Amino acid sequence: MLSGADNEANTQGRFKEQMRAYDRWKVELAHAVTEYRQWLEDHHMGTPEVELRLHETLENLRGDRLVIAFVAEFSRGKTELINAIFFSDYQRRLLPSDAGRTTMCPTELFYDHQHDEAYIRLLPIETRLEEVSITDLKQQPQRWTALPLDVNSPDQMAEALREVVKVKRVSVEEAKRLGLFVEESHGRDLDEERPSHVEIPVWRHALISFPHPLLQQGLSILDTPGLNALGSEPELTLSMLPNAHAVLFVLAADTGVTRSDMDMWQFHIKAYRKNGHKGLVAALNKIDTLWDEMKSAEDVERSVRTQCQETARLLGIEGGSVFPVSAQKALVAKIRKDAALLERSRILALESYLADKILPAKQSIVRDSVVGVTAQMLGATRQMVQQRLEGARHQLDDLRSLSGRNSDVVTNLMRKTRERQATYNKNMESFQASRRVLSQHAKAMLDTLSIRAVDDLVAKIRKDMEGSWTTVGMKKGMKTFFDGARDAMQHVTSQAEQTHGAVQAIYRKFHEELGLPVVDPRMLSLQKFRVELERLYEEAEAFRNSPMTTMTEQHFVVKKFFISLVSHVRHLFIRAHKETDAWFKGILIPLVKQVSENKHQLDQHLETLCRINESRDALDTKVRELEKRCALLEREDTTLHSIYRRLTTQIPAEASAPGTDTGLSRATG
């Protein structure tokens, strides 16, 4: 039997502990970035480009989310599983999962830090008739129906949340117009009369902002309805599921793996594994239906194990990727603090997987994307400080060597300094010429990635496809579109490689001729965008060839799918354009700072030598000034090193005690 402490820890869940640790890690990162930004401001070393990147870093940390998607056919207990894993501390079902009620529209559950409020926003189902994607509609809040969410009234919250399960009856013609009527889905026999009216969801998509601690710490849950929704909303499989950090495919032990389960797996989820994502597992829910008091514990265990093995075989995954759980019993156990029932529910194994596998993988993404860029900028700043320190020490050594020497020695040092200034001026002419060449490269690459270029391609494809709404015509048009997009991305990738070589040569030249510190400029990598283009193309093929697409009105499906697809490609090119533009703006900043610092030191050193040549009394004064400057620069280097250590720290191995107060907004205010 578990002790009281163990019972409390298990009821709370390892995932919640690790989420708190992850949140504290992000808060510490934000503090480090904020301190670095303040340091730059205090020392007048910032630039508009660097300030923008640091601002974006802080905003990215504030808006960072760990997205976990739950996918299942109807009545698999998916929503109950969400309640059990994340929201048991409300001592009730936060999300509606009563018998006969199921999520009818895709629902995103998160906390909106930007607006800092609780709400429900619902997108009317009629927006499916428009040529606008959900992603674009999220930028138009006036298009959504907003409902208040009173976090102090459980009854009001429960009633408001029931909106996501609402349906309405419409004519078959209206359902077909919306792309929501599929003959086979209504289970009619061949001789059965087609119904005149059918039920459809009232809402197309739901956004729920709720101040639950896990959501405030960055958790975001995507709750998707059944196969029909995945088939009729390509945006789910094109963007939302692939962008999730974990996908839980929920099955039920009382039904086994059904045909619709397999269709969902084959046509909409399996590709997630193919694209290198490790966060895909199956949860075999409702194992309590296998609990038989007439059987021994060993027999029950054998039944559960057999069903898990069979599920893994049918899905083509490893047995360890199938987690048997009872969401309903887990929720009851957590509410009642029943350790024995909680253990029987087996939910802790699934929670540990999320905590030990998914969260560390998410941390790696943040570390590479957010921390990596900032750490590189901080490293360049520290290198600048070290360059100043080295220059001050060099000047100090020169001045100390002048003590007791005649004026010829000073004159000789002045001559050498002027020679170095001449070398600097010569290199600056070459540097300006190189910058002009880089500007030409930048224009060519950014023009290729511009929205105008994408829209020109879209316009051409639309013109070619007019009057050819056959399957063959669609495939040809889609292939032509993707060929053009991929060619553009490949062209920019090749240009980026050539440009990086040119930048390396510039840095190398200044290192060799002026003795500046060695810098390895960051290379622009567009590989992730190329991979995403390929994934979109593969998903497009799978969608077009799926039975759901075949059974739905072709004109509607192709039109809506093409618009959704183009929207995602446009957003992809926007991101690639932004990243390329930022790369060009920042790639020479370290060198510009080095060159500027080198000129400042040469001018300052020559001025000092001139004063000493005129008056030997100036020597002792300047030596003392340089000694103080060296000490100050050493302290600044130590400060930057401390910030760098905090910036590159790992997530704490263990979470802090429950109730620890954290808040990213305070760190970034």
Of 547, 660, 602, 669, the closest CA to residue 414 belongs to 602
Classify burial at 189, counting beta carbons within 10 Å of its beta carbon; exposed 0-12, middle 13-18, buried 19 or more: exposed
Query: Which residues pair with residue 461 across a beta bridge?
Result: none
3-state secondary structure of 53: helix
Most confident of 292-296, 346-350, 509-513: 346-350
Of 392, 427, 12, the closest CA to residue 214 belongs to 12
Contact present, 572 and 530 (Cβ < 8 Å): no
Tell me the C-alpha distance between 200 and 507, whole Å: 62
Torsion of CA 547, 549, 551, 553, to 10 degrees: -170
Q: Which two tokens stand for residue 614?
A: 């005129």
Mean pLDDT of 385-395: 87
Residue 2, pLDDT score: 41
- What are φ and ψ of residue 246, in 5° steps? -150, 140
Q: Which two tokens stand for residue 566?
A: 């183009």
Q: Is the dihedral of CA 138, 142, 143, 146 positive or negative?
A: positive
Residue 231, pLDDT score: 64
Residue 13, pLDDT score: 64
pLDDT confidence tier of residue 555, bands split at 50, 70 and 90: low
Query: Which residues pair with residue 124 across a beta bridge?
Result: 203
The label of the residue with tokens 């959504």 reads 144
Q: What angle do CA 557, 104, 110 make, to 5 degrees?
A: 105
3-state secondary structure of 205: strand
Secondary structure, 3-state, 546-572: CHHHHHCCHHHHHHHHHHHHHHHHHHH
Residue 104 pLDDT greater than 60, yes or no: yes
Tell me the C-alpha distance between 514 and 420, whole Å: 8
DSSP string, 250-306: EEETTT-S-HHHHHHIIIIIHHHHHTT---EEEEEE-GGGG--TTS-HHHHHHHHHH
Sorted by where each starts, the structural domains of the chain and their CATH numbers stand as 1-21+64-108+213-365 (3.40.50.300), 112-165+204-211 (no CATH), 167-201 (no CATH), 402-644 (no CATH)
Report the percentage of the chain scoring pLDDT > 70: 83
Of 332, 362, 363, the closest CA to residue 347 belongs to 332
Tell me the C-alpha distance between 247 and 269, whole Å: 9
Most confident of 65-69, 289-293, 665-669: 65-69
pLDDT confidence tier of residue 543, bands split at 50, 70 and 90: low
User: What confidence tens digit (pLDDT) does each residue in 299-322 have?
Assistant: 888 888 999 999 999 988 888 889
Radius of gyration of the chain (CA): 31
Of 563, 565, 497, 573, the closest CA to residue 530 belongs to 573
DSSP 8-state code for residue 151: T
Chain Cα centroid distance, residue 484: 27
Residue 664, pLDDT score: 45
Residue 53 pLDDT greater than 90, yes or no: no
Query: Which residues pair with residue 252 across a beta bridge?
Result: 285
Residue 507, pLDDT score: 84
User: What confidence tens digit (pLDDT) does each residue in 361-374 have?
Assistant: 888 888 877 787 88
Residue 669, pLDDT score: 40
Tell me the C-alpha distance between 339 and 345, whole Å: 10
Angle subtended by helix axes 471-514 and 554-587, to nearest 10: 0
Residue 273 pLDDT greater than 60, yes or no: no
Q: Which two tokens stand for residue 593?
A: 């700072």
Residue 542, pLDDT score: 65
Mean pLDDT of 618-645: 89
- What are φ and ψ of residue 388, in 5° steps? -65, -40
Residue 148 pLDDT greater than 80, yes or no: yes
Q: What angle do CA 615, 621, 622 make, to 5 degrees?
A: 90
Classify burial at 335, counting beta carbons within 10 Å of its beta carbon; exposed 0-12, middle 13-18, buried 19 or more: middle
Tell me the C-alpha distance between 340 and 337, whole Å: 9
Residue 196 pLDDT greater than 90, yes or no: no
Tell me the C-alpha distance between 113 and 141, whole Å: 16
Q: How far is CA 317 from CA 268, 270, 303, 312, in A?
A: 16, 10, 19, 5
Q: Is the dihedral of CA 513, 515, 516, 517 positive or negative?
A: positive
- H/E stretch holding 108: strand 107-110
User: What confidence tens digit (pLDDT) does each residue in 209-223 have?
Assistant: 988 888 888 899 998
Torsion of CA 369, 373, 374, 380, to 10 degrees: 160
Mean pLDDT of 602-616: 75
Residue 656, pLDDT score: 40
Report the percentage of the chain scoring pLDDT > 90: 19
Mean pLDDT of 488-511: 87
Q: Which long-range contacts (CB under 8 A, 24 or more apart) does 476-483 make?
A: 477/562, 478/537, 478/540, 478/544, 478/562, 478/565, 481/457, 481/566, 481/569, 482/533, 482/536, 482/537, 482/540
Side-chain-facing half-sphere of 334: CA atoms under 13 Å? 27
Residue 639, pLDDT score: 95
- Residues sharing a CB contact under 8 Å with residue 394, sequence separation 6 or more, in sequence order: none
3-state secondary structure of 152: coil
**How do 107-110 and 246-252 pair as beta strands?**
unpaired
Residue 501, pLDDT score: 87
3-state secondary structure of 168: strand
pLDDT confidence tier of residue 192, bands split at 50, 70 and 90: low
Q: Which two tokens stand for residue 656?
A: 């802090």
- Residues sharing a CB contact under 8 Å with residue 39, sequence separation 6 or more, in sequence order: 381, 639, 640, 643
- Catalogue the E-assigned strands of 138-218: 145-148, 167-171, 197-201, 203-209
Of 136, 156, 159, 160, the closest CA to residue 146 belongs to 160
Residue 573, pLDDT score: 92
Residue 5, pLDDT score: 40
User: What confidence tens digit (pLDDT) does each residue in 324-378 have?
Assistant: 999 999 999 999 999 999 999 999 999 888 888 888 888 888 887 778 788 888 9
Q: Which two tokens stand for residue 492?
A: 């920019």
Across the chain, mean pLDDT equals: 81
Residue 33 pLDDT greater than 90, yes or no: yes
Instruction: Give helix then strand counts, H and E, for the chain.
Output: 28, 11
200-226 burial code (b ≥16 CB/10 A, e <16): bbbbbbbbbbbebbbbbbbbbbbbbbb
pLDDT confidence tier of residue 615, bands split at 50, 70 and 90: low
Q: CB 464: neighbour CB atoms within 10 A?
A: 14
Residue 450 pLDDT greater than 70, yes or no: yes
pLDDT confidence tier of residue 186, bands split at 50, 70 and 90: very low
Contact present, 217 and 20 (Cβ < 8 Å): yes
Residue 120, pLDDT score: 93
Of 543, 575, 437, the closest CA to residue 495 belongs to 437
The label of the residue with tokens 């919640």 reads 16
